[in-house]
Amino acid sequence: MIVGKVNPNLEAIISITIFDSNMKEHYVNAVLDTGFDGTITLPLSLIQEFNLEKKGSGQAFLADGGEIIFDFFEAIILWNDQQKRIFVDAAETAPLIGMSLLEGFNISIDVCNKGKVELNLLS
């Protein structure tokens, strides 16, 4: 089980462990974003701090109909107590966790300030 809390802005937040290029652990609070179909976004400053390897560029369509081009990087995270290799999208926003990473989990959120957030692996 992965647990987190709802912040005063009513965003569901969990802490995620990301390994830098030297396999040193870093903890990042990220917002669960069911409108994002990728894995994780991080600001370029964190991507550079963790020295993540660039793997390419992608194109995304936003909810407002806009289109953006972004770079993506490879990272290893600790997810449900196991190391997992993923792609991280560079985005100048708060770190986000998307549906591709949440796949296979049941999400329970008590939507109130300091509410409980739980992710449970589906059987």
Q: How many helices (H) and strands (E) does the chain have?
A: 2, 10
Q: What is the CA radius of gyration of the chain?
A: 14
Q: How far apart are CA 95 and CA 44, in angstroms?
A: 10
Label residue 20 by pLDDT band (50, 70, 90): very high
Q: 15-99 maps to which CATH number? A: 2.40.70.10
For 78-92, the pLDDT digits (tens) are 999 999 999 999 999
Bridge partners (DSSP) of residue 105 are: 121
Distance, in Å, from the CA atom of 123 to the CA atom of 115, rounded to the nearest integer, reads 25
pLDDT per residue over 48-100, tens digit each?
Answer: 999 999 999 988 777 788 888 899 999 999 999 999 999 999 999 999 999 99
Whether 84 and 77 have beta carbons less than 8 Å apart is answered as yes
